[in-house]
Amino acid sequence: MKTPIFTGAATAIVTPFKGNEINYDKAAEIIDMQYEGGISALIVCGTTGENATQPIGEHEEFVEFCVKKNAGRMKIVAGVGSNDTMTSVRLAESAKKSGVDGILMVTPYYNKTSQRGLVQHFSTVADRVDVPMILYNVPSRTGIGISVETYKTLSKHPNINGIKEASGDLALFSQTRAACGDDLFIWSGNDDNTIPMMSMGALGVISVASNIVPDAISKLCRLCTEGDFKAATELYFKYADLFTKLFIEVNPIPIKTAMNLMGMDVGNLRLPLYEMAPDNLEKLKKSLLDAGLKLK
């Protein structure tokens, strides 16, 4: 019988930079803020954390730092996705040594593979590293999605715990839920899909918006868990436009920009990510203010 790594709201945290270096003091502040906001888990070195431009050594050091700073307060899940399976093995082994509670592994991007290849890609890591794995399905970014049949096959692996389902395809989600049941736990990978997915059995969300409104996202998940979907919907409507505007450009450009606008000083983006276009910046500012958030 599998146990989910976490339930409720997890934050895919940004990686704060100062020039070309990680700002560890700011990272510590972010971790404390997330805990105080009621967040259940942190996703470290994921897409929102700009893992694609992190050298392996820096990636490993940041995971270790976050585990130590967190000190067991929340669950820690480390991103280990790569389009090279053996790189994912190395990152997973390092994450386990650091004491993470789980790993997050996205489908291989650019070179991609077949569905049979996906089974081998994920299974190779799960076979070698005894730590619970969350599969990450986001075909809009990687160019390859996971089928229901592949999910069902992977659900039988004891180390594969669940899915961050960010395809936006509710039919795929519902069919996967029906096929796999509690052999494969599911979390929404999009803030705007949290309520419909939790109404059908998802355990929460891996959120971008909770970088700035952790208390609201944790409350949203709690209301859904309690079955109060009317109150959850009312809360959702308050932030619905913001959920959209946080993806007006490629993530994490808008969320990092929002955090800086709010005075959180998380620093720069790493190229090829670049500052927001002026018209989109104004739309983001308006959305933040409309949601009741204060800008510096």
Q: Looking at 136, 151, 236, 239, which residue is catalytic? A: 136
* CA-derived radius of gyration, the chain: 18
Q: Which two tokens stand for residue 251?
A: 């993530």
CA dist., res. 219 & res. 156, Å (int): 32
CA dist., res. 152 & res. 184, Å (int): 8
How many Cα neighbours within 13 Å face the side chain of 4?
21
Say whether 124 sits in a helix, a strand or coil. Answer: helix
Residues 6+ positions from 55 with CB-CB distance below 8 Å: none
Tell me, yes or no, if 75 is annotated catalytic.
Answer: no
Q: Which two tokens stand for residue 196?
A: 């419909």
Say whether 104 sits in a helix, a strand or coil. Answer: strand
Residue 295 DSSP symbol:
P
Phi, psi for residue 130 in degrees, rounded to 5: -85, 75
How many Cα neighbours within 13 Å face the side chain of 183?
13
Q: Looking at 26, 75, 164, 219, which residue is catalytic? A: 164
CB atoms within 10 A of CB 246: 26
Tell me, yes or no, if 238 is annotated catalytic.
Answer: no
Annotated active-site positions, please? 136, 164
